[in-house]
Amino acid sequence: MKVLRLNARTFPMIEEERQILRDAGAEVVEVEHPGEDPHEEEIDAVLIVSAYLRSDDIDRLLRCRVISRLGNGCDKIDLEAAARRGIMVVNVPDSFSGEVADHTMALMLSALRKLKPHEELMRQGRRPSGTFGVRRIRSLTLGLIGFGRIGREVACRAKAFGMKILVADPALTGEEAAESGVRKTSFDQILDSSDVIALLCPLLESTRGMLSGKEFKRMKKEAILINTARGELVNEADLAEALENGVIAWAGLDVFGSFNVFVEGGFPTTHPLFKVKNIQMTPHVSANAEEAKIETFSRAAQYAIDVLRGVVPPFVVNKKLLEKYAKCKKQ
Q: 326 falls in which pLDDT band (50, 70, 90)? A: confident
d(CA 68, CA 178): 35
**pLDDT of 133 higher than 90:** no
- The total number of structural domains in the chain stands at 2
The pLDDT of residue 132? 87
The pLDDT of residue 91? 97
CB 257 within 8 A of CB 231: yes
Number of Cβ within a 10 Å radius of residue 25: 8
Same structural domain, 136 and 166: yes
Same structural domain, 67 and 200: no
Range of the domain at 60: 2-95+290-330
Residue percentage of the chain with pLDDT more than 90: 95
Same structural domain, 275 and 314: no
Same structural domain, 58 and 184: no
Same structural domain, 176 and 206: yes
Same structural domain, 81 and 159: no
Please give the average per-residue pLDDT across 126-145, as a whole number.
94
The pLDDT of residue 124? 97
Same structural domain, 113 and 258: yes
Q: 115 falls in which pLDDT band (50, 70, 90)? A: very high
Same structural domain, 110 and 184: yes
pLDDT digits (tens, 9 = 90+) for 57-113: 999 999 999 999 999 989 999 999 999 999 999 999 998 999 999 999 999 999 999
pTM across the whole model: 0.91
Same structural domain, 254 and 319: no
Residue 312 maps to which CATH number? 3.40.50.720
Same structural domain, 167 and 37: no
Same structural domain, 299 and 239: no
pLDDT digits (tens, 9 = 90+) for 223-259: 999 999 999 999 999 999 999 999 999 999 999 999 9
The pLDDT of residue 264? 87
Same structural domain, 315 and 178: no
Arithmetic mean of pLDDT over the chain = 96
